[in-house]
Amino acid sequence: MTGRLHAWRWPAIIAIPALLAGAIVAERAQGDTTTPGLPTDEIMPVASAPGALSSTWYCAGGTATGANDAFAEQTVEVTNTSAQALAGRLTAYPSEGAAATRPLELPAHSRVDVKLSSVVKAPYASALVEVDGGEVVVQHEVSGAGGRDVGACASAPATSWYFPSGTTRPGARNVLAVFNPFPGDAVLDVSFETDDGARTPQSFQGLVVGGGRVVALDVTDVVTLRNELSTVVRARSGRVVVDQLQSQDGSEGSAKGLAVTLGAPTVSTAWMFPDGIGAVGYGERFALLNPSDTPAQVDVQVLLDDPQVNGVAEPFQVSVPSGRYTIIDVFSDGRVPAGVAHSAIVKSTNGVPVVAERVITGTGEAAQPGIGYTIGSPLVATRWLAAAASFSGLSGGAVIVSNPSRDLDATVAVSGVGDGSSVPIQGMTSVVIPAGGRYIFDIGTSGQGRSALGLDVRSDNPVVAETRFGFKEGNDLAYLIAVPVNGTVTAPTELVGAASPVTVVVGGG
């Protein structure tokens, strides 16, 4: 397999102090106290460390009807990257009817896929996966008449969930899947910011989600015909997990596809995106949501591949009003040349944290049409795990690793996990990624000869990893930030393009 190395160096004028053990701020939703350290599973999905006693994952969104033409039939993909055989259980919680549990046997270095409609039948269903050990990663795949996508599952419920981007334009459907995995009820408020102002539908205020239930909220029927909208879900009581299911039928010149997106449980002053489109026929935009009471000054730094050839793009500098969102079209003014691939870093320059999401759309002239909604990573790590998409009907796959450090190179290796072994992938070992650069590891369409493939990315210095998949079957595309392993995760220090400390606020805004 081939890879591509892309270096990007920022002038050595920026330094960010170390951010661990109190320098990173992780505020709880209740009270004004500051929690020292890094509660990583409340910031983004995080895999349990080697030797951990357990792993718990929550997959909120998807249908479970058993019909091929359903909206978003959900398959849960459980990968054991450890050298130990593990046992676990998957409990499916339907929107109608009783929950059901299926045992899981996970041999060392293996992956097990479970279609939820084989466990329960219901209009919607969520999954709780519990495994007796660490180094396990869980994601879910959705497919239906509108397309196909791969999404993150959560490693912890939360009191707040943020979705910077969405649409209810003609031909689109926007559904929030809200999963309450606890015995007690959760009470929620759901609000929206649209291109014509705020919306707080009465039916979405004081919403009760019963214990052990999933509720599907069809936003399309309530906030109608909006080209852009952002969503905030806040719990008055309880904790939940929330996914956004988004489909577009391609009408009125829009891209066609299906996307499932786990919301962000945090706001942060930095978000990192290893991948950026570099081909004709695609659009790319960033949605920046500021749920706070103070305007945020934000830079979006697009780091062009091969800057000696392609040059350096001037950052997009915007003010995001309090309680509002701002959209940046990457190719709108020519500073980012069409067809030049890139990574990106979103950074608040006045210390007001935001949430950042990248939206990539491929229309009919694109090599792989579809839609991809991706919330960035606020953290870096030296080990990342991912499960490749199911290889049936795959048109291509890649792991993209970016090194957002200002001055530290990273040496990276990628192993393929599956069928009882974890083997370094040829051409993907000891790859040096310069500071500010990135590397594209091409994993092809065959699963490296395995029936199911997990991916284990290791680095000597902190990096960010993302997967990219194209689907011939479903005619869609998928982008997904990989999952860091607990114990290897840090906040970024001396970040490329940043000029102040990174602050991650848990449940903030």
Q: CA-to-CA distance for 356 and 373, rounded, in angstroms?
A: 11
Judging by DSSP bridges, how do beta strands 296-304 and 316-320 pair with one another? antiparallel
**Alpha-carbon dihedral of residues 318, 230, 199, 354, nearest 10 degrees?**
-50
333: part of which helix (H) or strand (E)?
A: none
Task: Assess contact for 164 and 288: CB atoms under 8 A.
Answer: yes
Radius of gyration (C-alpha) of the chain in whole angstroms: 21
CA 6 to each of CA 196, 279, 441: distance values in angstroms, whole numbers, following the listed order: 40, 16, 12
Q: CA-to-CA distance for 12 and 354, rounded, in angstroms?
A: 26
At 328, give phi and psi (nearest 5°): -115, 120
Task: Assess contact for 496 and 19: CB atoms under 8 A.
Answer: no
At 162, give phi and psi (nearest 5°): -120, 135
Give 453-483 pLDDT, tens digit per residue.
789 999 999 999 999 999 887 789 999 999 9
Give 240-258 pLDDT, tens digit per residue.
999 999 999 998 888 999 9
Q: Which of 72, 158, 163, 79 is nearest to 114 (CA)?
A: 79
Task: Report the range of poorest mean pLDDT among 16-25, 101-110, 272-281, 484-493.
Answer: 16-25
Domains of the chain: 3-46+265-506 (2.60.290.11), 55-262 (2.60.290.11)
- Selected residue with higher pLDDT from 427 and 265: 265
Q: CA-to-CA distance for 475 and 366, rounded, in angstroms?
A: 11
Give 184-225 pLDDT, tens digit per residue.
999 999 999 998 899 999 999 999 999 999 999 999 999 999
**Coil, strand, or helix at residue 315?**
coil
pLDDT value of position 207: 98
> Which tokens is 323 given?
């309680």
Q: CA-to-CA distance for 242 and 244, rounded, in angstroms?
A: 7
- Selected residue with higher pLDDT from 65 and 391: 65
